[in-house]
Structure 1
Amino acid sequence: MTCPHHPERIVHEEGAQLDFSKDMSYGDYLHLDEILSAQHPLSPEHNEMLFIVQHQTSELWMKLMLHELHAAIACVARDELPAAFKMLARVSKIMEQLVHAWDVLATMTPPEYSAIRPYLSNSSGFQSWQYRCIEFALGNKNAAMLKPHAHSPQRLAEVEAAWRAPSLYDEALRLLARRGLPVPASHVTRDWTQPYRESPEVEQAWLQVYRNPERQWDLYQLGEELTDLEDAFRLWRFRHVTTVERVIGFKRGTGGTSGVGYLRKMLDVVLFPEIWKLRTDL
């Protein structure tokens, strides 16, 4: 580290290693040369670097989010709830991080974005395969959303696998059924590629948990972890809408969507409907 009064002077910590010519360094471990050389602006505009870094870092956070979500779903399927709770709490925190990332992008003004937009062609966050896998893992299944990834067989296979797999909520309901709660068979074994349909019977199962939380505390905590998760996801979506509207207004998105109009529709999607409805009926 440097001395604050004499920046040119190196302050040697006792035992610190300064020669990394033979051992793995910090940069080696993180592959920083590859990461930091992956920004290639196409326009002459200063602000394009912000646009690139914003989306690249978001994709890195989404990679971690998927890592945690897949593990959490597997833990719920194995009735290992304490481990799942830690992972789901981390996912919620990642979403908070992504919400604040929009604050940085919002510093880009409409003229600044308009200057780089012609260089983006049809590339769009709508084409993010990781985001699509997150949506599918959280239960928002839509077969039409496979099409944007058809140009890449490898990515299509990954997105399709997420589309075909039980979602986090599907596994939560299967767990409730294994615990003897009255989850209907239609929600325990079904075509996982189909959008989730709200069920009064499922709400009654959750109500049994919430009316006597001490009796099945871990299921009650699972319900609250799901609530935290969807709450954070809603904030992420909302901040996305407001940032896009602030920067481009109601222009169509570069990927061909209606832009703000499409994003506003997504605000109405409820991932875990019975978890929210029971609060009225308690």
Structure 2
Amino acid sequence: MNHGTSALDHPVDDDLTRPFPGASPYDTYVHASVLNTLQHPLTEAPDEMGFLVTTQVMELWFTLIVHEWRTAKVAFAKDDPAAAMDALTRSRRALTALNGAWAPIAALTPAQFNGFRAAFGRASGFQSAMYRHLEFLLGDKSAGLLRAHRGDPAVHEALGETYREPSLYDEVLAHLHRQGLPVPRHVLERDVTRPYTSDPGVVATWRHVYAGPQHHPHLALGELLTDIAELVTRWRFEHVLVVRRAMGGKAGSAGSAGLAWLERRAARPVFPELWEVRGDL
């Protein structure tokens, strides 16, 4: 006797097999048919498709993270820490997924990478406008990297707005000041188009938070920001490792210094005072 099962044993709901009048509701909402046509390898190298998909998936995660950080910024400006913390928590989950997205290309050998590297010519990850939004929101502003996008007016203008606005961390500090914490006036009034650098007065502000009650909401905020800073730093260092493994210290595309440039960027601290204060406790 045949103890297997057949499709007849599990009838499909008629609603699932009824033809759609056009595109499926799923595709209308998700646009999967568009997403699945955006991969155009330029070589026959078997690893190029994975490189393209990995890069495109990361761009989508950048978009979500930027969205959540902007949501958090608005909430902090309105002194709505609950909404801000919710957005930051969502971004933490997205950052975790972003870091996992390296897996398909993390072990590329030089021969595998060289199989398609020449195909993308002068294209380089540092040209990603959405990643630049992410870095500007962290306070890592750069007039030069903004200027690089002048050839695309719409992209340049959108990125320019993020460049000229206070960063996520600027809004955090302004919120803490309005809550009565001793954030220095010169930090609150700083030129927000300049890269954020550590300030002893802000270290003292976070020391005040961390030395207080362990259940205080400002402490929870500090730890959530530290989680985000750690995940961003891990992504940067993972990028360094992927490049080091695939191409060593060779010059990067588009005239960048390649590995050396990435290493310098990876070493830049995110929310620096949250790391420095730990040595004072």
Task: Answer yes or no: same fold by TM over 0.5.
Answer: yes
Aligned residues: CA RMSD: 1.9
1:184 to 2:184 alignment: yes
What is the identity, as a one-letter code, of the residue corresponding to 1:120? F
The count of residues paired between Structure 1 and Structure 2 equals 277
**Which residue of structure 2 aligns with residue 163 of structure 1?**
163
Aligned in 2, Cα 1:98/1:12: closer, same or farther, shift over 3 Å? same
Cα distance, 1:136 vs structure 2: 0.4
Task: Give % identity.
Answer: 36
Name the counterpart of 1:258. Answer: 257
Please, which moves more after superposition, 20-29 or 257-266? 20-29
SS in structure 2 of the partner of residue 149 of structure 1: coil
SS in structure 2 opposite 1:266? helix
1:133-172 → structure 2 map (5 Å cutoff): 133-172=133-172
Runs (4+) off by over 2 Å: 8-18, 22-25
1:1-282 equivalent positions in 2, closer than 5 A: 5-6=5-6, 11-13=10-12, 16-22=15-21, 24-213=24-213, 217-282=216-281
Which runs of 5 or more structure 1 residues have no equivalent in the other structure?
Answer: none
After superposition, what is the alpha-carbon deviation per residue over 1:217-252, rounded to whole angstroms, capped at 9, x for unaligned? 221111111100001111101110000110111111
Distance in 2 (alpha carbons) for counterparts of 1:108 and 1:12: 45
Spell out, residue by residue over 1:84-113, the C-alpha distance to the aligned partner (whole angstroms, 9 max, x if none).
Answer: 112112212222212222121124321121
- 1:15 CA drift (Å): 7.0
Report the Cα offset of residue 255 of structure 1: 2.2
- TM normalised by structure 2 equals 0.92
Task: Give the AA of the match of 2:158.
Answer: E
Contact 2:226 2:274 in 1 (8 A): yes
Q: Residue 139 of structure 1 contacts residue 196 of structure 1 at CA under 8 Å; is this kept in 2? A: yes
For residue 44 of structure 2, what is the amino acid of its counterpart?
Answer: P
Contact 2:54 2:105 in 1 (8 A): yes
Looking at structure 2, the residues matched to 122 and 41 of structure 1 have their Cα atoms a distance apart, in angstroms, of: 16
Q: 2:54 is aligned with what amino acid?
A: Q
AA aligned opposite 2:106? A
Q: What are structure 2's unaligned runs of at least 5 residues?
A: none
Given the two structures, how large is their TM-score scaled by the length of structure 1?
0.92
Distance across 2 between alignment mates of 1:213 and 1:9:
64
1:259–1:10: structure 2 CA closer, same or farther, 3 Å change rule?
farther
